[in-house]
Amino acid sequence: MAHRNPQCIYDHNHSLPIFDKNTFTENRNLNINITDFNEHIQIKVRDAADFVFNYTSHIDTRQFELMRSEQSLDIDFVEFRTNLIDMLHQVQTRELFLKCEIDVNRSKLIFFGKSKIKAIVFLIIDLQMTNQKDVFNEMNSNILDLQMINKNLVSQMARLKTRLEDKDTEIENFISINKQLEKRFREDLVNLSYVFSNKLQECSALLLHKIVLLTQRLLKLIQDVEVVKHESLLKSDSSARLLQSMENLRLESIETSRIVNELKRENCNLKAIQLGNEQMIDDLNSTIQRQEVEYIELKKKRDEFEKDAKQAAMIIAQKTTTNEDLEKDLLKAHQLLVSFNHSLATKTQEIEELKTTVASQDKVMQEHNHRFHELCRQFEEYKTEFSLERLNKVSQDLFAANRRVEEVEKVNRETAKLNELLTRKLASGDFVHGNFRS
């Protein structure tokens, strides 16, 4: 009959009550491992947190015959393996119960059921304390596994550190670009404000100059009208034409006043737009300050994460240099792994939050750039509209006003000629009965 390699047929943890000389001691989380060696089976019961608690039983055909005789079992050795696994599964589902009794270097696994009257014992397995050499071999195997885990953790920490350095480089590049954009944005805003203020002052000065000129011409026209009005009292023949001229001049004066008022409203609107631009610049500066505060907080969190990673690396390095107090080292290593996993999850979440914050800052900068370009576009449109249409309109109005002034002066000259002619006629005696003699 060919021999086959050992096969693990059961490996599971159970929380079992421990009885020391029939007195309940405590509940322990025990690992039950069953290995099939074909000729015999090995049952191992151990506590991962206490390497002293380690018991083993080797059951072959001869020992099983003794168990069957002592416990009145009605199965053979082949059925024993299958039924043992089934009973352990029933213990997991609470259909059957299992307890452990210890006495010096021996222990017993007792499978029992509960009824209304008493507990019924189905099977008892005797175990001996495991050989110290096997215990040390298991401990060395566990140490090698922990060293491999530590090595993997160190490798992961190195990769994580590299990734963090790359992220730091990206963040620094982003900060540099952000500062350059902020500097350029502020310079553009200052230049825009300076240009806008100069243009506004130039337009205001030009409008005031035009208003002064129009006002002076208007006063002159009023004076001329007064002169014409005074002369018209003496000239009955030209009274109707002079009244019409006065009415035209009055309408032109009203139109000129309306243009002046429109120019004043235009000046007020330009000042309101300037105030709005200054308020927007203040809001942008406040947003930049908030982003700088958020960056400082993110940098603090990154420093804390690097500090935790260095402490974890120091603890792992110290734990790999010695095997003294193995029980405490194993427990601390387990706790360290749990803490590191928790810290890694926390730092991963912080990195994701950092990415989200960077994305939001990028979005805010894009919005600021969009608002800045929109403001520049509106300013260009306004500048184009003001510099072309408004100036053309003002030029046309001034040209029309000049033409009106020339017409009035022409009328004044004709009136003066008429007065001179009337004076000569009156002086020569040619005016008879209100008619001229040819």
User: Does 261 have pLDDT greater than 90?
Assistant: no
Helices (H), 16-60: none
pLDDT at res. 313:
61
* Higher-confidence position of 327 and 105: 105
Cβ-based neighbours of 258, under 8 Å, separated by 6 or more = none
- What are the tokens at 138? 């298991």
pTM (2 d.p.): 0.37
Of 17, 19, 48, nearest to 31 (Cα)? Answer: 48
pLDDT at res. 86:
93
User: Does 229 have pLDDT greater than 70?
Assistant: yes
Q: What is the pLDDT of residues 138-179, one digit of tens each?
A: 788 778 888 888 889 988 888 888 888 888 888 888 888 888
* Higher-confidence position of 250 and 168: 168
User: Does 181 have pLDDT greater than 50?
Assistant: yes
User: Does 194 have pLDDT greater than 70?
Assistant: yes
pLDDT at res. 326:
57
Mean pLDDT (whole number) for 214-226:
84
User: Does 19 have pLDDT greater than 80?
Assistant: yes
Q: What is the pLDDT of residues 44-71, one digit of tens each?
A: 999 888 878 889 999 999 999 999 999 9
Of 109, 78, 106, 108, nearest to 91 (Cα)? Answer: 109
- What's the distance, Cα to Cα, between the start and end of the chain in Å? 165
Q: In whole angstroms, how far apart are CA 179 and each of 190, 261, 366? A: 16, 46, 14
Q: What is the pLDDT of residues 109-132, one digit of tens each?
A: 999 998 888 888 999 999 998 888
Q: In whole angstroms, how far apart are CA 151 and each of 306, 408, 434? A: 19, 105, 131
Mean pLDDT (whole number) for 417-427:
74
* Residues 33/10, Cβ–Cβ less than 8 Å: yes
What percent of the chain is predicted at pLDDT more than 90? Answer: 14
38: helix, strand or coil: coil
> What pLDDT band is residue 1 in, cutting at 50, 70 and 90?
very low
Residue 131 is classified by DSSP as P
Q: In whole angstroms, how far apart are CA 21 and each of 53, 67, 88? A: 16, 21, 24
